[in-house]
Amino acid sequence: MSDSAKTTWKVNQFTSIILVPFISYLIFKIIELSKLPYDEIISELSSAWSIFYILIFTILGLFHMRQGVNEIMEDYVHSQNFKKVFKFSISIFVFGILTFVCLSLLLILMV
């Protein structure tokens, strides 16, 4: 295994481990928020902690997803042209999700 493959594997494992408590907390928080009225949900989500949490979770999750998809693509897609198209498509998808999350957070802050 090359050094870059080892590094990629270690980074992927590290982000996996970090995402486990994030997802656990997210599930707990969704259950907690589902019992609250709309105004209290907006109030909870408008806090600096919630916005920080959502941004960090989104960035880590998207990074982990992008790295995993790129590794699968490297293993199974052999055409360089298809790799370029897929990498560009994945980048657009990740940018779109990150943009959507940031705009959603801005809308929550504006309420």
Q: Residue 74: its pLDDT value, please? A: 86
Distance CA 80, CA 75 (A): 12
Question: pLDDT tens for residues 81-106?
Answer: 999 999 999 999 999 999 999 999 99
pTM attached to this predicted model = 0.84
Q: What is the pLDDT of residue 1?
A: 62
Q: Strand (E) positions, the chain?
A: none
Domain count, the chain: 1
Q: Residue 47: which domain range? A: 3-110
CA 44 – CA 35 distance, rounded (Å): 12
Amino acid at 103: L
What integer pLDDT is reported at residue 9 of this predicted model? Answer: 87
**CATH number for the domain harbouring residue 64:** 1.20.1300.10
Confidence of residue 108 (pLDDT cuts 50, 70, 90): confident
pLDDT in tens, 27-66: 999 999 999 999 999 899 889 899 999 999 999 999 999 9
